[in-house]
């Protein structure tokens, strides 16, 4: 731990020095940070030697996900979203449940040692997507607006949807293994969801009203206006956890509440850039720690079955449900393939892994489950990172040469 913080800081500085040069290339920030963590971690250089169950690792991952959940949810502008709701609604309402079902089936077949709750838990852990791993796909203006927005909204909302599912399935898996009783599991889930919602609504509403009222009266400094949503995410999380609620549900609901009130009031306050910047910084540190603390040890236990499941999870388990969800929407095959491929696994899955590791030994095949999830994340970081920029460019060129109203190019 002595050298962990200065080494992480040095990695961040080194990346900052070349960040503009590598923008738009197949080399992405998560790839660099994960590789740096792997090389500098305990299994190799030994400079980032932090135990996976250390409180600092858990805190880092939880704070990062809370900020990202709040930020993503606060951007949901329902009036604007209604004009392009079809694709994200299909991906979330049809594709996500089918992805979990397909992941469950694949886990039963490929990783046969699992009890059914463990197979379902792995499927839920790997269901949420992370747009940051293929950022070119959701940021390039040459891509069709409907596709960009659809993938961005899906990534922003499926984390929040999967959090309560994860809590429910984890409680079922622990009850099935005898770690906790069935009644205790049901009560735990109810409290985490209920208290999380209450804390999130309260924190989001308070923060939004501060910005609305202070903005109209011109009593808030622009810098502090950007601090408000960061404080709101922290308030939602820290109020929910001590009373038994889920801090992640609180952060997500808080972001939804915060964004809904601000959009309705049209208060004109500055966009919460500080929230995004804080999230990006912590996200970078999380991937460094992921490479050093999780990926290094996981590679020691890698098997062909785990690698096979990772490949299936990133291809068949994602792409077939996406294709089924888009039936009736009249998309063309390249659009279906493009949307299906870009379902990278990232931050939410890392946090779910750490939450399970926090209380080790409560699942019969915990090592198999966690190693498979970690390897899938690593493979996603590599495959989606390398393919994001070139495939986005090829798809944009194809769409420009074959125009049709299935999606509109973004305005220039």
Task: List the domain boundaries for the chain.
Answer: 39-49+63-176+273-401
- The closest of 156, 169, 160 to 123, measured between CA atoms, is 169
Closest CA to 351 of 66, 42, 18: 66
Least Cα distance to 165 among 64, 267, 248 occurs for 248
Phi, psi of 334 (to 5 degrees): -60, -35
* Predicted local confidence at residue 183, as pLDDT: 62
Distance, in Å, from the CA atom of 197 to the CA atom of 200, rounded to the nearest integer, reads 5
Residues in the chain: 412
Task: In whole angstroms, give the CA distance from residue 286 to residue 58.
Answer: 10
- Of the candidates 380, 408, 390, the one whose C-alpha atom is nearest the C-alpha of residue 137 is 390
* Pair of tokens at residue 181: 């009783």
Return the percentage of the chain with pLDDT > 90, whole number. Answer: 35
Give residue 410's pLDDT: 44
Tokens 């999780």 locate to 294
**Which position has the higher pLDDT, 51 or 265?**
51
Per-residue pLDDT of 389-411, as tens digits, reads: 888 889 888 888 877 654 444 44
Q: How many CA atoms lie within 13 A of 153 on its CB side?
A: 24
pLDDT in tens, 339-394: 999 888 888 899 899 888 877 667 888 999 999 999 999 999 999 989 988 888 89
Tokens representing 10 are 């040095």
Tokens representing residue 398 in the block: 């194809």
Q: CA-CA distance, 234 to 228, in Å (whole number)?
A: 10
Q: What is the pLDDT of residues 122-176, one digit of tens each?
A: 999 999 988 777 776 766 777 787 888 788 788 877 888 888 889 888 888 877 7
Q: Which residues make Cβ contacts (< 8 Å) with residue 360, sequence separation at least 6?
A: 53, 366
Measured CA to CA in angstroms, residue 299 lies from 54, 58, 126, 163, 302 at distances of 20, 21, 18, 27, 5
Full 3-state SS string of 68-92: HHHHHHHCCCHHHHHHHCHHHHHHH
Q: How far is CA 138 from CA 271, 340, 352, 382, in A?
A: 19, 14, 24, 18
- pLDDT for 400: 82
Angle at 74 between CA 217 and CA 147, to 5 degrees: 135
Token representation of residue 405: 């109203």
HEC letters along 201-237 = HHHHHHHHHHHHHHHHHCCCCHHHHHHHHHHHHHHHH
Contact 211, 262 (CB under 8 A): yes
Task: Determine phi and psi for 240, rounding to 5 degrees.
Answer: -70, -45
pLDDT at position 254, please? 92
DSSP SS3 for 248: helix
pLDDT of the residue at 40: 92
pLDDT of residue 167: 85
Better-predicted residue by pLDDT, 264 or 274:
274
Of 384, 285, 319, 250, the C-alpha closest to 99 is 319
Looking at residue 89, what is its pLDDT? 86
Categorize the per-residue pLDDT at 106 as very low, low, confident or very high, splitting at 50, 70 and 90.
very high
Give the DSSP H or E segment for 15: helix 4-22
Element (H, E) at 99: helix 96-110
Contact 394, 322 (CB under 8 A): no
Please compute the mean of the pLDDT values over residues 195-222 and round it to a whole number.
90
Dihedral sign for Cα 308, 126, 102, 314, please.
Answer: negative
- Is the domain covering 39-49+63-176+273-401 a CATH 1.10.260.30 domain? no
- DSSP per-residue string spanning 184-206: HHHHHHHHHHHHHHHHHHHHHHH
Q: 373: Cβ–Cβ under 8 A, 6 or more apart, which residues?
A: 122, 125, 126, 349, 352, 353
Which pair of structure tokens corresponds to residue 6?
């200065």
Q: Is the pLDDT of residue 234 over 90?
A: yes
- Which pLDDT tens digit goes with each residue over 292-345? 999 988 998 999 999 999 999 999 999 999 999 998 877 889 889 999 998 888
Q: What pLDDT band is residue 97 in, cutting at 50, 70 and 90?
A: very high
SS3 content of the chain, % helix, strand, coil (to 5): 75, 0, 25
Query: What is the average pLDDT value for the chain, to the nearest integer?
Result: 84
CB 408 within 8 A of CB 144: yes
């Amino acid at each position: 731990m002595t050298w962990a913080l200065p080494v992480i800081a040095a990695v961040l500085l080194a990346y900052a020095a070349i960040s503009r040069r590598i923008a738009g290339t197949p080399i992405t920030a998560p790839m660099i940070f994960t590789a740096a963590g792997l090389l500098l971690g305990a299994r190799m250089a030994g400079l980032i030697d932090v135990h996976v169950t250390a409180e600092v690792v858990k805190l880092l991952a939880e704070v990062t996900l809370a900020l990202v959940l709040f930020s993503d949810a606060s951007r949901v502008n329902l009036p604007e979203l209604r004009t392009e709701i079809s694709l994200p609604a299909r991906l979330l309402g049809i594709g996500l449940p089918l992805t979990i079902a397909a992941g469950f089936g694949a886990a039963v077949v490929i990783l046969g040692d699992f009890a059914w709750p463990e197979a379902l838990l792995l499927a839920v852990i790997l269901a949420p997507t992370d747009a940051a791993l293929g950022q070119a796909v959701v940021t390039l203006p040459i891509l069709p607006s409907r596709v960009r927005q659809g993938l961005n909204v899906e990534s922003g909302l499926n984390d929040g949807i999967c959090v309560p599912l994860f809590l429910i399935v984890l409680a079922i898996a622990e009850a099935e293994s005898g770690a906790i009783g069935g009644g205790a599991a049901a009560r735990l889930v109810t409290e985490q969801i209920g208290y999380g919602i209450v804390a999130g609504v309260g924190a989001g509403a308070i923060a939004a009203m501060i910005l609305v009222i202070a903005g109209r009266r011109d009593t808030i400094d622009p810098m502090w206006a950007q601090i408000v949503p960061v404080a709101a995410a922290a308030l939602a999380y820290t109020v929910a956890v001590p009373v038994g609620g889920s801090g992640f549900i609180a952060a997500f609901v808080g972001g939804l509440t915060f964004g809904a009130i601000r959009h309705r009031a049209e208060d004109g306050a500055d966009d919460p850039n500080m929230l995004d910047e804080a999230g990006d910084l912590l996200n970078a540190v999380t991937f460094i720690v992921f490479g050093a603390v999780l990926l290094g040890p996981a590679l020691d236990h890698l098997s062909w079955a785990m690698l096979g499941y990772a490949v299936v999870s990133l291809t068949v388990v994602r792409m077939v449900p996406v294709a089924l969800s888009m039936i009736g929407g009249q998309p063309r095959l390249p659009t279906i393939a493009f949307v299906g491929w870009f379902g990278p696994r990232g931050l939410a899955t890392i946090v779910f892994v750490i939450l399970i590791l926090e209380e080790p030994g409560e699942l019969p095949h915990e090592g198999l489950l966690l190693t498979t999830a970690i390897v899938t994340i690593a493979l996603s970081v590599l495959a989606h990172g390398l393919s994001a920029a070139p495939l986005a460019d090829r798809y944009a060129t194809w769409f420009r040469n074959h125009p049709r109203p299935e999606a509109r190019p973004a305005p220039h």
